[in-house]
Amino acid sequence: MHRKSLFAIGVAIAAGAATPAFSQASKDDAVAIVKKAVAAIKADGAEKTYSLISDKSGPFVKDDLYVVVYQLDGKVLAHGANAKFIGKDMIDAQDVDGKLYVKERVELAGKQPSFWQDYKFVNPVSKKVEPKEMYCERLDNTAVCAGVYKL
């Protein structure tokens, strides 16, 4: 092999090693996926769409970005990262700082049609608790949300 070829292979390997295994979602990505979920719920119905939202390989999950749907009483109706939450009342859930993030979220949804909320949560990709910003839109008696992890 020529030196130039070996050098090019080495550079390609190094570049690949420096690239994260997933792409960090942006705030625009979160807004877009929530709007996509709201449109699907309106067009195809809640039951069908909640099942798609909760499918980790479905259209509402991409790396660390996923959709969650809450009833305004705190019950989880769909969850793209952890199906164990579905059907659970999460109104008293706290983040690592003791913030009642679900209670705050459903209260905000009751007052405004859309909003951003800060809290801390386990990133499904890194498995670490990280600061997160959640974008939500109210749809009838639900909040349809997706969040991005802050670096």
pLDDT digits (tens, 9 = 90+) for 5-17: 333 343 333 333 3
The reported pLDDT for the residue numbered 17 is 36
Average pLDDT over residues 81-87: 95
Average pLDDT over residues 58-80: 96
Query: In this predicted model, what pLDDT tens digit does every residue of 9-53 receive, in sequence order?
Result: 433 333 333 334 445 889 999 999 999 999 999 999 999 999 999
The domain locations on the chain are 25-149
- Give Cα 24 to chain centroid, integer Å: 11
Q: Which CATH superfamily is domain 25-149 in?
A: PAS domain (3.30.450.20)
Task: Say whether pLDDT at 2 is over 80.
Answer: no
pLDDT averaged over every residue in the chain: 87
The residue count of the chain comes to 151
The reported pLDDT for the residue numbered 12 is 37
- Locate tokens 């420096």: which residue? 18
Average pLDDT over residues 58-67: 94
Distance CA 108, CA 79 (A): 19
List Cα–Cα distances, 140 to 2, 38, 67, 135, in angstroms. Answer: 65, 10, 17, 16
Is 0.85 surpassed by the pTM of this model? Answer: no
| Residues 44-48: contacts with CB under 8 Å, at least 24 apart | 46/77
27-44 vs 46-53: helix crossing angle, rounded to 10: 150
Distance CA 78, CA 85 (A): 8
DSSP 57-109: TSTTEETTEEEEEEETTSBEEEESS-GGGTT-B-TT---TT---HHHHHHHHH
